[in-house]
A and B are shown apart, each in its own frame.
Chain A
């Protein structure tokens, strides 16, 4: 579905991302992890065509993402960033409805079907009671849930998340990731997410991509990546690795 071929990106001669090769299968959840400045967010920006690679190309559904029109691409790829939506005073309902934008022609208004999709998503994301509230009156966690709902309404095949839980408490973190996980199972969605929290990454992703200094260090399962030597070499920290008592997934202790 997504093929990242020898992609590099440098800004003012300084390499940010170097020679990335990555192939992502449909229906998988891929976690991008790595220290600050590893180039994770840039990879997301390159995939969503927000930035242009300096070399190489990214094939999405058989076509370079740079050749897609912004609108067409948004029919297939939705993105959730750590800032999410700006606290702009419009209603939750209207903000979510904007997710239908890429599916509408220039002169076309939303149809009954579009409104139905929004209603459905309001239920799934548990936002029905907030529908008439203004975005700027919501908390960060609630606003991030609106952003997820907006992405859902977009009905993409690929969802990119760039540290979607950074500013959230653990309750909201889990809530957001659960929503993504359920959605992925329900619709066969492909997910690429940047996460700082290694424990969450290990629990929610099928495969992890460990990055450092703009390069991919290793691709593998949480078993391969959440290992002492591996993390030490990249993070220059000394974590203890234990197993989650219920799921047996490796987790770190600091």
Chain B
């Protein structure tokens, strides 16, 4: 009861922080645009409000805000939210604090798919420039299915088995990926940079694919909060209170993997967000999934938008890999929280 009350305080606070971070991020970059101007440009695009705003900016500024920075910031928010939510779900379902969105091989699969696209210059006619995310997503999902069916014995999946199967598939696909890398000289840099994660390849098109996926999956996953909490009390206990453990687990893993796949396919494998954001939320607000899921979604968005802003500006004009920044920012903060935690929290 008490904790729930907290949620209605903290969720709006988190949203405010997100909007703040996003608007700061839109103003950062080579072109000098303050955030009044940025907001004016954004509002001028919204039907209904646009009539109240007088256009007083150059078209190049409009392009920079609307076509370059805003999609990137929004994509950062979506990817961050997706990874953090997926991490929270994986940790809950697998009952393992080390679980992150990549533990079941989804990201290795996606990276392998992406590498193939780069190396062979694949371009599927129907998909056009969406070939890369589509293929990455498909390979990520395939790896999940392999893991799942490897660990299925007598129509049941055991937790330890699925995590082991994930590790095995991950290393196998990792080896395939290394092989592709070793054999391709010219694309090495592109692939490595993609693997370290970046939001640089963004436009509205990417947003249009990833936003609906993340929105729908997030909403669906919110319906399983009770089940996630009940799994926390043990699988048998959950079964005895009426949760179909096998079915619920399969469904939740699929949901989490879909958003992981979607996120990785547009931004590469950005590490650390999915592992650490849910843990930070847990350390700060407790283990109740009624709080963890919503706050992880918004918290992940904040974290990644912030990290991307840093990645873009700290050594401008050079852009740093996002995965590097997330680890640089996340690890010390997480370490600080861990030291401060008085007892086991997972």
Please report A residues at the B interface, Cβ cutoff 8 Å.
Answer: 48, 50, 69-75, 77-79, 81, 83-86, 88-91, 93-95, 98-99, 101-102, 106-107, 132, 134-137, 147, 150, 154
B242 adjacent to A75 (CB under 8 Å): yes
Q: Which of B244, B287, B288, B346 contacts A71 (CB 8 A)?
A: B244
Q: Which residues of B contact A107 (CB under 8 A)?
A: 223
Which 3 pairs across A and B sit closest by C-beta, in order of nearness? A74-B242, A102-B242, A79-B240
Interface 0/1 of B213-241, CB less than 8 Å to A: 00000000001001001101110110111
The CA of A74 and the CA of B1, in the complex, are separated in Å by 25
B236 adjacent to A81 (CB under 8 Å): yes
Q: Which residues of A contact B236 (CB under 8 A)?
A: 50, 79, 81, 83
A90 adjacent to B229 (CB under 8 Å): yes
| Chain B interface main SS type | loop
Q: Which residues of A contact B288 (CB under 8 A)?
A: 90, 94
Q: Does B121 contact A (CB under 8 A)?
A: no
Q: Does B344 contact A (CB under 8 A)?
A: yes
Interface 0/1 of B232-263, CB less than 8 Å to A: 11101101111111000000000000000000
A70 adjacent to B287 (CB under 8 Å): no
Nearest A residue to B245 via CB reads A70
Q: Does B343 contact A (CB under 8 A)?
A: yes
The CA of A79 and the CA of B235, in the complex, are separated in Å by 13
B5 → chain A, closest Cβ, in Å?
12
B251 → chain A, closest Cβ, in Å?
12
Question: Which of B226, B237, B288 has most A Cβ within 10 Å?
Answer: B237
Q: Does B339 contact A (CB under 8 A)?
A: no
B286 adjacent to A90 (CB under 8 Å): yes
Q: Which residues of A contact B328 (CB under 8 A)?
A: none
Please report B residues at the A interface, Cβ cutoff 8 Å.
Answer: 1-3, 223, 226, 229-230, 232-234, 236-237, 239-245, 286-288, 343-346
Q: Which residues of A contact B245 (CB under 8 A)?
A: 70
B71 → chain A, closest Cβ, in Å?
35
Nearest B residue to A146 via CB reads B233
A60 → chain B, closest Cβ, in Å?
14
The CA of A79 and the CA of B237, in the complex, are separated in Å by 8
B240 adjacent to A98 (CB under 8 Å): no
A86 adjacent to B345 (CB under 8 Å): no
Q: Which residues of B contact A86 (CB under 8 A)?
A: 232-234, 237
Q: Which residues of A contact B2 (CB under 8 A)?
A: 91, 132
Q: Which residues of A contact B232 (CB under 8 A)?
A: 86, 88, 90
Additional pairs, 10, CB under 8 Å, beyond known A85-B233, A94-B229: A48-B239, A70-B243, A73-B242, A75-B242, A91-B3, A98-B230, A101-B242, A102-B241, A136-B343, A137-B343
Q: Which residues of B contact A102 (CB under 8 A)?
A: 241-242
Nearest B residue to A150 via CB reads B241
B240 adjacent to A78 (CB under 8 Å): yes
B334 → chain A, closest Cβ, in Å?
18
Nearest A residue to B224 via CB reads A106
A99 adjacent to B241 (CB under 8 Å): yes
The CA of A154 and the CA of B232, in the complex, are separated in Å by 18
B226 adjacent to A101 (CB under 8 Å): yes
Contact A71/B344 with A85-B237, A90-B286, A94-B288 known, Cβ cut-off 8 Å: no
Q: Which residues of B contact A154 (CB under 8 A)?
A: 241
Q: Which residues of A contact B240 (CB under 8 A)?
A: 48, 50, 74, 77-79, 81
Q: Which residues of A contact B242 (CB under 8 A)?
A: 70-75, 101-102
The CA of A134 and the CA of B344, in the complex, are separated in Å by 12
The CA of A84 and the CA of B237, in the complex, are separated in Å by 7
Q: Which residues of B contact A137 (CB under 8 A)?
A: 343
The CA of A18 and the CA of B96, in the complex, are separated in Å by 37
B345 adjacent to A89 (CB under 8 Å): yes
A89 → chain B, closest Cβ, in Å?
4
The CA of A85 and the CA of B231, in the complex, are separated in Å by 10
Contact A50/B230 with A89-B287, A90-B286, A136-B344 known, Cβ cut-off 8 Å: no
Q: Which residues of A contact B344 (CB under 8 A)?
A: 89, 136
Q: Which residues of B contact A134 (CB under 8 A)?
A: 286
The CA of A182 and the CA of B333, in the complex, are separated in Å by 51
Can you list 6 A-B pairs with a CB-CB distance of less than 8 A? A71-B243, A77-B240, A81-B236, A81-B237, A83-B234, A90-B232
A154 → chain B, closest Cβ, in Å?
7
Contact A88/B287 with A50-B236, A95-B233, A106-B223 known, Cβ cut-off 8 Å: yes
B287 adjacent to A98 (CB under 8 Å): no
The CA of A91 and the CA of B226, in the complex, are separated in Å by 14
